Copies of this chain bind each other. A is one copy, B any other.
Amino acid sequence: MRRWNGWGDDTINYHVPERAVRFLADLLGPGAPPRDATAGETLASLPPARPLEHPLVRSDGAERLRHARGQSFPDWVALRSGHIPAFPDGVAYPTTEADVVELLGLAQRTGAQLIPYGGGTSVVGHINPAPGATRPVLTVDMSRMNRLLRLDDASLLATFGAGIAGPDLEAQLRARGYTLGHFPQSFEYSTLGGWIATRSSGQESLGYGRIEDLFAGGRLIAPAGALELPPFPASAAGPDLRHLALGSEGRLGILTEATVRVAALAGRERLAAHALFLPDWKSAQTAARQIMQAGLPLSLMRLSTPVETETTLVLAGHERLIGAIQRLISLRGVRDGKCLLMLGFSGREEVVKAARGAALEIAGQQGGVNVGRTFGSQWYKNRFRTPYLRNALWELGYGVDTLETATTWGNVNPLVEAIENALHQALAPFDERAHVFTHLSHFYPSGCSIYTTYLFRLADGPGETLARWQAMKDAASQAIVELHGTISHQHGVGMDHAAYLPAEKGELGMALLHDVCRRMDPDGIMNPGKLLAG
C-alpha cells in the first residue's frame, strides 16, 4: 500500500545507520519526532464536500484525503499533522477522452475548479486545492488512462494514455524491446502526463534527453477545445506549440494522450555507472564541465560537493565499502574535500568504450581516481530508494527538502554558495542549524543544474516547523532569483515557485502566459493558482 502521509510503499523502510544518526545529532542536535495524526483522525476532520453530482465523481473521504496533497515539504507537514486546509470536493477517474470532455463540461456547468492529477508526487504544490476556494474543486485522477495505445516500431514512437506511471510505461516498452529512458526520482509513481506538464528531467536525461526531447506530440483537451500536437520529427512551421503544453502545469487543459520517442533497449538494458573521486570542488567541476563539453555520449553524470560526498557515504552506511574506497583514495593521494563523480554509460559497446576512455582521461587530468563500478552499481540499484530516507528522517525528528535550479557554468559557484549560505542563515533566527549539501545532477555544454538538499530539526508543532521551512525556502528562492538562476530545473513552478516566475519571464512574458491560459481556458477553471499566481 502506498503511504498516505509519506513517501512510497509502506512495506519499504530506509534504515538509517547508527553512525548516520550520530552524524546528524552532532550537526543539528538530537531529533524529536512530532506525533503524527492518524488517517482516522484526519478523515474525521474532513469538511463536508460541496456537491459535484455526476456518475464519474466520487466524494468519499478516503479519495478526497488521498488527493489532497502531494510531496512538498508543506504537504508533509499538513499530512503528518492532520492540519489540511483544503480538500478536493470530488475525485474522478476518467477512462476515456469522452470522460475527460464530460468532466470539463461538468466543471463549466457547476463553476467547479478542476485539478489534473498524475501520480501526486509534485514537490511544489501542483495538485493542491487552494485554501479558501469558494467554488467546488474536482480532482481528475488520470491513472486509469494508462494504456499503450499505439507503437510505431519504424519511427520508435509510442503513444500512451497520459496517466500511465513510470514503471507501467517502462514495463510495456521493455516487453517490446524498448525503453523511454526517463527516470526522475519520482519514477515509481509519477506519470507521463505529469512529466510533460512539469518539464521533468530524469537521471539519464543526459543520454535520452529531457521530457521536452522525448515528448513528440499528443492531445490536450482544454475547455476551449482540443489542441492536437502532431509528432513531427522536426518542423519549421512557426512556433512549436508543444512547448506551451510542456510546463503548462494543468493550466491549459488535460493531456489525454502523449506520443513519446523511445529507444531500442538492446545494449541499453543496464547502465554502467562508474564512481570517481576528485580531489576538490574546483577540479571536480572542471572535470565535469570538460567531459560535458567534449560532446561525449554519456548517459548520466552527477557530481557531489565535498559535504554531499561525505553525507552520502555516511548515510549509505556501507561501512566496508566506504572503508575500502577511502583506503583506495588515500593510497592514491587524494586530499580532503574530495568529490564524488558518477559517470554512466549505455548504448553500443564500441561507442561506450570510446566515450568512457575519453571521459576517464579528462577526469584523470583533474586528479580523478576511478574506484570502478561497485559503488556505482550500488547507487544505480538503490536510486529510487533515496526518497524513502524522508520517511526515516522524519521519524527521527528531522525534516529534509531539496531545491534546484540551473545556470551557466560561470555562475555555478556563486549560485551554489549563495543558496547554501541563504539556507544556513535562514535558520539563525530560530536558533537552529541546517545541514546543507549540493550536487550538480544535470549537465549541458552551457551549464548545469544545482540540486541542494537541506536537513533541519522538526519543531514541536507544525506551525513552527513550517515557519522554519518557509524561511529557508524563501531565502534560497530569493538567492536563485538574484543570481539569475531559473526558479526550477526539474520540479516545476506549482504554488511554491509561482511568486518567483515573473523574475525570469518578465512582464511581457507573463502577459503571454496569461493570454495562452485565457485562450485555452476562458473561464479560468483549470488548476488555478499554479504556475501563475492568481
What residues make up the interface of A, taking CB atoms closer than 8 Å to B?
152, 154-157, 198-201, 210, 212, 216, 222, 224-228, 230-249, 261, 263-264, 289, 293-297, 347-348, 350-351, 353-355, 357-358, 406-410, 442, 444-449, 484-493, 497, 501, 504-509, 511-513, 515-516, 518-520, 531
Contact = CB atoms under 8 A, between A and B. Distances in A.
A236 B232 contact: no
Contacts of A485: 232
Given A240-B212, A246-B239, A234 B201 contact: yes
Nearest to A253: B508
A406 B357 contact: no
14 contacts: A155-B410, A198-B236, A212-B240, A222-B508, A224-B508, A227-B506, A227-B512, A237-B492, A294-B348, A348-B354, A350-B357, A353-B354, A511-B519, A515-B516
B445 A261 contact: yes
Given A154-B409, A201-B236, A233-B444, 4 more contacts: A154-B408, A201-B234, A212-B240, A515-B518
Contacts of A497: 237
Contacts of A242: 243
Nearest to A511: B519
A229 B152 CA distance: 36
Given A289-B154, A446-B231, A508-B222, A236 B490 contact: yes
Contact of A348 (B358, B445, B509): B358
A233 B357 CA distance: 26
A407 to B, nearest CB: 7
A507 B222 CA distance: 13
Contacts of A358: 348, 350-351
Contact of A239 (B156, B247, B295): B247
A492 B531 CA distance: 31
A408 to B, nearest CB: 4
Contact of A447 (B232, B237, B409): B232
Given A293-B156, A508-B226, A516-B512, A237 B353 contact: no
Nearest to A236: B199
A236 B491 contact: yes
Nearest to A492: B236
Nearest to A228: B506
Given A233-B406, A233-B408, A261 B351 contact: no
A497 B241 CA distance: 18
Contacts of A506: 226-228
Nearest to A213: B213
Contacts of A245: 239
A354 B350 contact: yes
Nearest to A235: B486
A228 to B, nearest CB: 5
